[in-house]
């Protein structure tokens, strides 16, 4: 690995020193703590420097040190709490180093600093230290928010260090070209690439980020110089015309015009919303997708479909809008909840089954399983997974840009999935339903003699390793699922069209599948695994 410096910043108690030392050890780098270095050189403690020489003198020492360290190579630098908040220091250290801001919840910070006897924390010598931590974090949120964040809560320093190494080892610049009707652009996948969005996306004019209130506070500031940030409420229920109107009005109020680019920073809901606004605002402005959920990375951000929901149904209003670039930073997946991560894995596994070859093998043989949570697969592994999964979709979308035939295979497992979601009154999530749907598709394929019987248990193991369910809950009636399937297919007959498998990588559209076989599969999947 290239010997750039690694700079850790963040609030007290986020583990800059402990993680920094481990990281240096694991990378064979030197470790330096700027506070310790300043104390050694001055022959005084920091409180003594403040008292005898004044804060300005201390800040000058930090500035000199920042310039000095920027000239070094292969050093992990743990910085004093405020050092990187000075723009000149930050500029010097980022010129030769990758900066990460370690973050933790206030509860975890309080726990860690009260357990740490080595440091005096004068800032917290107050009646209500918890309130003090929350206030200070809020005060510094904007400043720290400029750097890529690494969550450390509920992770051991070793796990944090390994997560960081994963991000560092991820190829920062893996590019997959996509050519769509009338457009060609790149899908760029890397670790820690959000700060380079404007450069990677070729954005020249003003940049307006559209995001939700879960993602915006974490990542909007990481995207470099942003002119406008619009945050909407998270969730499918807000993928509406009303939200489109809110976003558009805010853009008008802030003087955003056709020279600008809309950056959709978020999951599938944001891809749909930001894409729809970009397709319609002033008859269309440039769009860059920055997907932050696994599902949005490997599915929703490719294919150019953007849309919003009506009370009568999902995605009933929409457009085809190709982005100028898709920039997927796998480091953002760190903050995805375990469930959302697993739901994304259901579609990655679906892509693996469709594409076959290396992707399915790497998921099947990968060392990571659900039990390892809260440790996600290393960023380098995630980056490969995303790169391979999108290639499956890109290839199929390019073969069939207007959804006339081949693209149907992308619906593997979805006939069952949509019906299960519906029959469960949406208590089963889309990702869980897709997992059950994939098992059902393999069961039905074997039942009809298309694929070997051992395929189903193989698929089940892969799904279970990703934390996904393989059986339909007994509380959902088979009759209702069957009715929903028939309604979906707009067919009342005894035979239906379903996407089935001959093998991994050999997916086809089966016509005339008997309803009785589908019923038998539903019954089989209700028996406990």
Interface contacts to ligand NAD, rule CB under 6 A: 212, 214-215, 234-236, 266-270, 292-293, 295-296, 299-300, 332-333, 335-336, 340, 430
Backbone angles phi, psi at 169, to 5 degrees: -80, -15
Q: How far is the CB of 288 from ligand NAD (least distance, A)?
A: 16
Q: Which is nearer to ligand NAD, 195 or 206 (CB)?
A: 195
Q: Which is nearer to ligand NAD, 269 or 496 (CB)?
A: 269
Q: Which is nearer to ligand NAD, 227 or 340 (CB)?
A: 340
- How distant, in Å, are the alpha carbons of 48, 364, 458 from that of 360? 60, 6, 11
Q: How far is the CB of 239 from ligand NAD (least distance, A)?
A: 8
Q: How far is the CB of 152 from ligand NAD (least distance, A)?
A: 15
Q: Which is nearer to ligand NAD, 289 or 447 (CB)?
A: 289
**Strands 30-33 and 97-103: what pairing?**
unpaired
Q: How far is the CB of 293 from ligand NAD (least distance, A)?
A: 4
Q: How far is the CB of 299 from ligand NAD (least distance, A)?
A: 5
- How distant, in Å, are the alpha carbons of 293, 299, 354, 385 from that of 466? 16, 18, 18, 13
CA 342 to chain CA mean position, Å? 12
Q: Which is nearer to ligand NAD, 80 or 291 (CB)?
A: 291
Q: Which residues, including other chains, have CB under 8 Å from residue 346's CB and lie 6 or more apart?
A: 431, 432, 434, 435, 438, 463, 466, 468
- In the bound state, the residue with its beta carbon closest to ligand NAD is 267
Q: Which residues, including other chains, have CB under 8 Å from residue 54's CB and lie 6 or more apart?
A: none
Q: Residue 294 corresponds to which tokens in the numbers above?
A: 């696994």
Angle, CA 275 vertex, CA 188 and CA 247 arms, to 5°:
125
Q: Which is nearer to ligand NAD, 69 or 194 (CB)?
A: 194
Q: Which residues, including other chains, have CB under 8 Å from residue 305's CB and lie 6 or more apart?
A: 315, 318, 320
Q: How far is the CB of 215 from ligand NAD (least distance, A)?
A: 5
Q: Which is nearer to ligand NAD, 422 or 447 (CB)?
A: 422
Q: Residue 299 corresponds to which tokens in the numbers above?
A: 């599915």
Q: Which is nearer to ligand NAD, 50 or 373 (CB)?
A: 373
Q: How far is the CB of 497 from ligand NAD (least distance, A)?
A: 18
The answer to whether the beta carbons of residues 222 and 195 sit under 8 Å apart is: yes
| 3-class secondary structure per residue, 117-163 | CCCCCHHHCCCCHHHHHHHHHHHHHHHHCCCCEEECCCCCHHHHHHH
Q: How far is the CB of 230 from ligand NAD (least distance, A)?
A: 14
Q: How far is the CB of 199 from ligand NAD (least distance, A)?
A: 21
Q: Which is nearer to ligand NAD, 203 or 302 (CB)?
A: 302
Q: Which is nearer to ligand NAD, 35 or 432 (CB)?
A: 432
Please, is 429 exposed, middle or buried when counting C-beta atoms within 10 Å of its C-beta (0-12, 13-18, 19+)?
middle
Q: Which is nearer to ligand NAD, 235 or 338 (CB)?
A: 235
Q: Which is nearer to ligand NAD, 214 or 383 (CB)?
A: 214
CA 285 to chain CA mean position, Å? 25
- Distance of alpha carbon 400 from alpha carbon 407, whole angstroms: 6
Which residues is 212 bridged to in the sheet? 232
Q: How far is the CB of 386 from ligand NAD (least distance, A)?
A: 13
- Distance of alpha carbon 216 from alpha carbon 160, whole angstroms: 23
Cβ-based neighbour number of residue 95 at 10 Å: 12
In the block, tokens 């499956």 appear at: 392
| DSSP-derived 3-state class of residue 454 | coil
- Distance of alpha carbon 247 from alpha carbon 174, whole angstroms: 32
- Distance of alpha carbon 399 from alpha carbon 180, whole angstroms: 10
Q: How far is the CB of 272 from ligand NAD (least distance, A)?
A: 8
Q: Which is nearer to ligand NAD, 429 or 448 (CB)?
A: 429
Q: How far is the CB of 2 from ligand NAD (least distance, A)?
A: 27
Where are any strands of DSSP class E within 247-360?
A: 261-266, 286-291, 305-310, 313-320, 325-329
Q: How far is the CB of 127 from ligand NAD (least distance, A)?
A: 34
Enclosing H/E stretch for 18: helix 16-27
């Amino acid at each position: 690995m290239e010997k750039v410096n690694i700079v850790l910043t963040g609030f007290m108690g986020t583990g800059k020193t402990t993680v920094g030392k481990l990281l240096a050890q694991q990378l064979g780098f030197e470790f330096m703590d700027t506070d310790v270095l300043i104390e050694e050189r001055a022959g005084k403690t920091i409180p003594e420097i403040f008292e005898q020489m004044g804060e300005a003198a201390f800040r000058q020492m930090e500035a000199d040190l920042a310039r000095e360290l920027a000239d070094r190579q292969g050093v992990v630098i743990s910085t004093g709490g405020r050092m990187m908040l000075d723009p000149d220091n930050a500029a010097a250290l980022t010129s030769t180093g990758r900066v990460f801001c370690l973050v933790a919840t206030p509860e975890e910070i309080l726990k860690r600093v009260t357990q740490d006897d080595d440091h005096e924390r004068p800032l917290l010598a107050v009646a209500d230290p918890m309130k003090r931590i929350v206030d200070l974090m809020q005060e510094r949120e904007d400043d720290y928010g400029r750097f890529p964040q690494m969550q450390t809560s509920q992770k051991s320093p070793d796990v944090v260090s390994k997560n960081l190494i994963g991000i560092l080892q991820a190829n920062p610049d893996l590019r997959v070209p996509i050519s769509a009707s009338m457009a060609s652009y790149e899908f760029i996948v890397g670790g820690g690439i959000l700060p380079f969005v404007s450069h990677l996306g070729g954005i020249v004019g003003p940049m307006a980020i559209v995001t939700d209130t879960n993602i915006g506070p974490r990542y909007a500031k990481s995207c470099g110089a942003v002119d406008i940030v619009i945050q909407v409420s998270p969730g499918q229920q807000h993928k509406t015309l009303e939200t489109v109107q809110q976003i558009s009005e805010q853009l008008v109020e802030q003087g955003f015009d056709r020279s600008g680019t809309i950056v959709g920073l978020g999951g599938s809901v944001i891809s749909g919303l930001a894409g729809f606004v970009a397709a319609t605002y002033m008859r269309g402005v440039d769009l860059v997708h920055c997907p932050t959920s696994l599902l949005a990375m490997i599915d929703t951000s490719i294919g150019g479909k953007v849309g919003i929901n009506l009370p009568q149904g999902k995605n009933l209003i929409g457009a085809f809008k190709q982005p100028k670039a898709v920039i997927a930073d796998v480091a953002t997946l760190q903050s995805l909840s375990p469930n959302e991560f697993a739901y994304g894995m259901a579609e990655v596994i679906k892509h693996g089954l469709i594409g076959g070859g290396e992707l399915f093998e790497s998921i099947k043989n990968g060392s990571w399983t659900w039990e390892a949570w809260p440790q996600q697969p290393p960023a380098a592994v995630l980056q490969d997974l995303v790169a391979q999964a999108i290639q499956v979709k890109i290839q199929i979308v390019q073969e069939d840009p207007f959804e006339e035939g081949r693209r149907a295979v992308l619906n593997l497992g979805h006939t069952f999935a949509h019906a299960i979601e519906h029959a469960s009154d949406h208590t089963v999530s889309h990702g869980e339903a897709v997992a059950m749907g994939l098992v059902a598709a393999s069961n039905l394929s074997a039942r009809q003699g298309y694929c070997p019987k051992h395929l189903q248990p193989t698929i089940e193991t892969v799904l279970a390793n990703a934390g996904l369910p393989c059986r339909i809950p007994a509380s959902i009636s088979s009759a209702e699922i069957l009715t929903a399937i028939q309604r979906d297919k707009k067919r009342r007959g005894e035979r239906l069209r379903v996407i089935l498998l001959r093998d991994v990588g050999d997916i086809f559209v089966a016509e005339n599948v008997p309803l009785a076989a589908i019923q038998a599969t539903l019954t089989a999947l209700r028996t406990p695994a």
